[in-house]
Amino acid sequence: EKAPHYSFVKPATLAPPVSYFDYIVVGGGTAGCSITATLSNGATVLLLERGGVPYGNKNVENIGSFGVNLADVSPTSPSQGFVSEDGVLNARARVLGGGSAINAGFYTRAPPEFITRVGLDYGLVNDSYAWVERKVAFEPAMLQFQTAVKDGLLQAGVNPYNGFTFDHIKGTKFGGTIFDKNGHRHTAADLLEYADPVRTTVYLFAVAQKILFSRRELGKPRAYGVIFKDSVGILHRAFLRPGAKNEIIVSAGALGSPQLLMLSGIGPATELRFHGIEVVVDQPQVGQGMADNPMNILFIPSPIAVETSLIQAVGITEFDSFIEATSGSTNIRAFMQNLPSAAQNLASQTNSQSKERPNVITTQGDLDKALEYMHSLLNGTIHGGVILEKIAGPRSSGYLHLSTLDPNDNPAVRFNYFQDPDDLKTCVMGMQTIIKVIESEPFSKFRVPGMTIQSLINVVVNFPLNLRPRHFSTALSLEQFCIDTVLSIWHYHGGCQVNKVVDKDYKVLGAVGLRVVDGSTFYESPGTNPQATVMMLGRYVGQKILAERR
Ligand SMILES: Cc1cc2nc3c(=O)[nH]c(=O)nc-3n(C[C@H](O)[C@H](O)[C@H](O)COP(=O)(O)OP(=O)(O)OC[C@H]3O[C@@H](n4cnc5c(N)ncnc54)[C@H](O)[C@@H]3O)c2cc1C
């Protein structure tokens, strides 16, 4: 069947009270769609997704609406905002296709060293990437702003030029995108075109409440079903059909997967007992190793109009900072207008999060001043772009805790940006490279005459881009700039890491019939951007599971 006309995608209100499948996948996101489509070619599969479809939603589908989509904080938005305990605004997906339906679209494979470190089979990895790329990866248009960034990166010494490629290679390149030549987004939900329509069932607005476990098998509890709630609050039960090979696969993302395991009784016993959850497996590592690659930016107002672009040109430096760019007024304007609602978000979360918050900007006075400044800038037409850097890894990490017992709520999460001094060094070198790009000759046509690098730094320092305090030295020292103006590039991962929460086959340690397959299993964000590898992983593990089944 062709997207969006899937006969097997239905609202959960149509689900029977009880149903049976060979596999139940929780989370119809970037990994979840991929693994569901794969498994359905050998077994019956139920996919539970808490959001709706990406199709027909202009905010999701149109490249110019990336910022608008993130700015939508309504309860039905495909993007659910959260603020980490670090005082940094963030977002997680709530829609079929998951992060691939709200992200910036950049598509790139992981480097071979990542595949080696994770212990995957190269042949199957390459086949799985190719399977994904046949549906959702495109070559971008590469217009003038992105071309100037590419040329500027080369002048800044990020060599050689590697042309257009999906591969992660040191130097400068144009990468792939999930936006087609018309600026229309394709998401992991399109991978369901590969699904067997007879053996696949997808329920939307189906929020998994908990995984059910039966008596112990070889001393371990066996997962046998999932309770999920539909949009009118009715509970349904889905059970695994009899069969030793049948399984539940959790693909609810780096926030959702550790959250659901904990709500189901797999997690640190003390935390579970604190919330009154019966302990099924005492697993202290659930929710640990949460990491988010810090993003730092310079915003460059341009005297001339620029194309609307998300990420295309990328510099992969020797020191593991990745330089990327985005341009066009609609995304930048919407991104900045997002800030008042983000502040409200913060206020509503403050009471519900369990851990103390660091010194974030909390006074209304601070916020009002910052917003006034932002509005004064927004009054003029903004042409321009953003050059950003993301650091590899990162080395710094934190944790996730339940804030409530409602799976719809965001858990409390802390990433401890720049706790590791090497992360900070990398950020500073990345910022120095960005400055070289802006000062390069190919970029000169996008510089407002007389606007110095210091004034570009001051713009960022004065924006309420996050809720962290500013210091006297924020605009004077790149170290302090990195720490104080840090943003998320939304590549957060961890919480159910391999060899800590799951084994190398992604099976949950201490339980039977349960795997986690998504970004929560990573120790590092793969390549410059992770979505290609997350989709690949869904296909990869799905193929392995079917091979074991035969
Ligand atoms: C704004 C933004 C920009 C980004 N830009 C890029 C980019 O340009 N390139 C790139 O490669 N990566 C990018 N990323 C990162 C990338 O999109 C994510 O790393 C990736 O999508 C994560 O995939 P996942 O399968 O782990 O989780 P997700 O795709 O988030 O999937 C999890 C799914 O589970 C569902 N779910 C959660 N809990 C439940 C529950 N209890 N019951 C039912 N369903 C549930 C969610 O609704 C969601 O659909 C970006 C991310 C964001 C948010």
Asked whether 224 lines ligand 1 (CB < 6 A), one says no
Ligand 1: which residue has its CA nearest to atom 23?
Answer: 30
Q: Which residues, other chains included, contact 524 with Cβ-Cβ below 8 Å and sequence gap of 6+?
A: 114, 291, 392, 393, 394, 493
Ranking 72-76, 343-347, 438-442, 472-476 by mean pLDDT, the lowest is 343-347
253 lines ligand 1 (CB under 6 A): yes
Cβ neighbours around 421 below 10 Å, total: 11
In 119-149, which positions are buried (b, 16+ CB within 10 angstroms) versus exposed (e)? ebeeebbeebbebbbebbbbbbeeebbbebb
Specify the residue for token string 């990020």. Answer: 158
Residue of the nearest CA to atom 1 in ligand 1? 103
Distance CA 191, CA 178 (A): 12
The three-state secondary structure class of 55 is: coil
Phi and psi for 146 in degrees, rounded to 5?
A: -65, -35
Say whether pLDDT at 354 is over 50: no
92 lines ligand 1 (CB under 6 A): yes
- Per-residue model confidence (pLDDT) at position 343: 58
Q: Is the pLDDT reported for residue 366 higher than 60?
A: no
Beta strands, E only, 287-427: 288-290, 294-301, 313-316, 321-327, 384-391, 398-401, 412-414
Query: Residue 28: CB within 6 Å of ligand 1?
Result: yes
Which residue's CA is minimally distant from atom 50 of ligand 1? 103
In the chain, the number of structural domains is 1
Residue 484 in any domain: the answer is no
What is the C-alpha R_g of the chain?
23
Across the range 124-141, mean pLDDT stands at 97
Separation CA 187–CA 238 (nearest Å): 26
* Residue 543 covered by a domain: yes
Q: Which CATH number belongs to the domain containing residue 236 in this structure?
A: 3.50.50.60
If phi > 0 it is left, if psi is from -120 to 50 it is alpha, else beta; for residue 135 that is alpha
125 CB-near residues (< 8 Å, 6+ apart): 115, 536, 540
Whether the pLDDT of residue 143 is over 50: the answer is yes
Read off the pLDDT of each residue in 513-535 and give the average, rounded to a whole number.
98
Bridge partners of 208, per DSSP, are 228
- Residues marked active site are found at 491
Task: For residue 280, tell me if it sits in a domain.
Answer: yes
| CB of 29 closer than 6 angstroms to any ligand 1 atom | yes
- Residue nearest to ligand 1 atom 37, measured at CA: 252
Which tokens belong to 93?
Answer: 């997906």
Respond yes or no on whether ipTM tops 0.90: yes
Is the distance from the beta carbon of residue 48 to the nearest atom of ligand 1 less than 6 Å?
yes
- Domain that includes residue 404, residue range: 1-140+183-290+400-416+491-550
Residue 426, pLDDT > 80, answer yes
CA atoms of 385 and 309, how far apart (whole Å): 9
Of 335 and 394, the one with more pLDDT: 394
**Is there an atom of ligand 1 within 6 Å of 168 CB?**
no
Is pLDDT of 34 > 90?
Answer: yes
99 lines ligand 1 (CB under 6 A): yes
Residues 84, 144: Cα–Cα separation, whole Å? 36
Spatial neighbors of 3 by CB under 8 A, at least 6 apart, are 55, 189, 190, 192, 193
298/326 Cα distance (integer angstroms):
11
**Substitution site in 290, 322, 534, 541 for ligand 1 pocket (most atoms within 8 Å of beta carbon):** 534
Side chain identity, residue 246: N
Angle CA 30–33–39, to nearest 5:
135
Domain membership of residue 129 (yes or no) is yes
Beta bridge partners of 79: 93
**In a domain? residue 370:** no
Report the C-alpha gap between 548 and 144 in whole angstroms.
50
Asked, for residue 158, whether it belongs to a domain, the answer is: no
Task: Specify if 165 maps to a domain.
Answer: no
Reported as a pLDDT band with limits 50, 70 and 90, residue 259 is very high
Split at pLDDT 50, 70, 90, the class of 351 is very low
198-214 per-position pLDDT tens digit:
999 999 999 999 999 99
Q: Which of 25, 30, 186 has most ligand 1 atoms within 8 Å of its beta carbon, as the pocket-test mutant?
A: 30
- Is residue 513 a contact partner of residue 248, using CB atoms and an 8 Å limit? yes
The confidence score (pLDDT) of residue 302 equals 87
Q: What is the CA(46)–ligand 1 centre distance, in A?
A: 19
Identify whether the C-beta of residue 51 lies closer than 8 Å to the C-beta of residue 72: no
Higher pLDDT among residues 336 and 286, named by residue:
286
Rounded to whole angstroms, how far apart are CA atoms 128 and 123?
Answer: 9
How far, in Å, CA of 244 to CA of 217, rounded? 11
> Which of 9, 36, 50, 203 is the best mutation target for the ligand 1 pocket, counting ligand atoms within 8 Å of the beta carbon and taking the most?
50
In a domain, 459, yes or no: no
Distance CA 537, CA 546 (A): 14
Q: How far is the CA of 27 from the centre of ligand 1 (A)?
A: 9
The whole-number average pLDDT for the span 152-156 is: 98
Q: State the amino acid at position 350 in one-letter form.
A: T
Å from CA of 374 to ligand 1 middle = 29
pLDDT in tens, 377-422: 555 556 889 999 999 999 999 999 999 999 999 999 999 999 999 9
Read off the pLDDT band of 90 (50, 70, 90).
Answer: very high
The two tokens of residue 241 are: 């059909």
Q: Give the tens place of pLDDT for each residue, 433-476.
A: 999 999 999 999 999 888 899 999 998 898 778 889 999 999 99
